[in-house]
Structure 1
Amino acid sequence: MKQLFETSATTTGGRNGHVKSADGVLDFNLKIPTQMGGEGGQFTNPEQLFAAGYSACFDNALQMVAGMEKIKIESTTTANVGLAMHNPTSYGLTATLDVEVKGVDKDKAQELLNKAHTICPYSVALKGNVDVKINLV
């Protein structure tokens, strides 16, 4: 496999810490959300960062598969990512993608979503680990 890109980010202090990317573009504090007993506020958390990455990656994969079929679409992808407790010592992620596709009928849009799910790097990484639900909205 030919690597096309690599980046890195470093966190100190875990979920109540600080994260910074190697290039300095990301540089901010993390806080545990209030729903998990944290102080929350105007801070981010790992699930929010994952949702941002997944929505961007999936939407790009959708645009790519449409482009390969020479179809022009407009799309918006919202990734809903949650943290679930399997048992007192084991956690996992939940993921639901809500995708709006304009420019094709419902059946074609669903076909494009299915194809995008097979090539999106986030979807591929989650396969077999997280049950990803994809809703055409």
Structure 2
Amino acid sequence: MSLKPLYTATVEATGGRAGTARSSTGSLELTLARPAERGTGAGTDPEELFAAGYAACFASAMTVAARRERVRLGACTVTGSVTLGEQPDGRYAIAVRLEVSAPDCDPAGLRTVVATADTLCPYSNALREGAPVTIEIA
């Protein structure tokens, strides 16, 4: 995969699910926690962060898609749900569900916008195509 870098976000996480995360810019600094169902719920769990990022990115992709497809989108909301689960072989995995609402957009236009946004959104592409992962030991 050939990738032309446009932006790189860097976040340092310490302590895993019971730790902290801080961006290199300092604009993100938060306490991490296990999911509320499995821990105290006193913090943000990684699945919430993934859901927020995907939902926000998909909503932006919808705006671009509406402009490209010449569809009047109006106000839209994307709700992301990320499920942490265990596969039969014991490995952990996630599943994602996006719920899209655009009350001012006609249903056919909305379907077109969502289909186009799904091809534009980097989160959708990463999940569909498999994003390259590099792990370095410091």
> TM-score of the superposition, structure 1-length normalised?
0.85
The letter of the residue matching 1:44 is T
Which residue pairs with 1:93 in the alignment? 94
Gaps of 5+ in 2: 131-138
Matched residue of 2:87: which SS?
strand
1:19 aligns with 2:28: no
Q: Distance in 2 between matches of 1:31 and 1:85?
A: 19
**Displaced runs of 4 or more, over 3 A:** none
Map 1:48-127 onto structure 2 (within 5 A): 48-73=48-73, 74-87=75-88, 89-127=90-128
Q: CA deviation at 1:87?
A: 3.6
Aligned length: 127
Q: Distance in 2 between matches of 1:71 and 1:88?
A: 44
Gaps of 5+ in 1: 130-137
1:28 to 8, 27, 30: 30
- Shifted more, 59-68 versus 88-97: the winner is 88-97
Q: CA deviation at 1:13?
A: 0.7
Q: Distance in 2 between matches of 1:19 and 1:104?
A: 38
Q: CA deviation at 1:117?
A: 0.6
The letter of the residue matching 2:93 is G
The letter of the residue matching 2:118 is H
Between the aligned residues of both structures, percent identity stands at 35
Q: CA deviation at 1:27?
A: 0.9
Q: CA deviation at 1:88?
A: 6.6
Q: Distance in 2 between matches of 1:116 and 1:82?
A: 22
Q: CA deviation at 1:23?
A: 0.7
